[in-house]
């Protein structure tokens, strides 16, 4: 069975918009414990798990020395590489 597509792949296929990705980053930054964020045509992503499972993103977000801009970039990277569930 093939793996489900990443958020980045869904974005390239235009199933998820840039606004969806920005909203997901904003949702995580507002509440890092967010467990369900729905975007596009019913794709659900556990934002907390997406960041936690990406080593660089997890380390960067936890760093007191990282700028807000760098933390947002790290969260965006984790989200783009995550594989959502079709709901």
Q: Is 1 within a domain? A: no
pLDDT digits (tens, 9 = 90+) for 35-67: 999 999 899 999 999 999 999 999 999 999 999
Model pTM score: 0.94
Q: What would the two tokens of residue 85 be?
A: 């569930």
Is 49 part of any domain?
yes
CB distance 34 to 27 below 8 Å: yes
**74 within some domain:** yes
For residue 74, how many other CB atoms are within 10 A of its CB?
22
Residue 2 lies in a domain: no
Residue 53 domain-assigned? Answer: yes
Classify residue 75: in a domain, yes or no.
Answer: yes
Q: What total number of domains does the chain contain?
A: 1
Q: Which domain holds residue 48?
A: 7-86
């Amino acid at each position: 069975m093939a793996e489900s597509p990443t958020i980045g792949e869904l974005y390239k296929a235009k199933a998820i918009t840039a606004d969806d990705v920005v909203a997901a980053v904003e949702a995580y930054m507002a509440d890092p414990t967010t467990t369900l964020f729905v975007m596009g045509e019913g794709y659900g992503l556990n934002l907390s798990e997406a960041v936690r499972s990406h080593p660089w993103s997890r380390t960067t977000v936890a760093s007191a020395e990282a700028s807000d801009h760098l933390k947002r970039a790290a969260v965006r990277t984790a989200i783009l590489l995550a594989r959502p569930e079709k709901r």
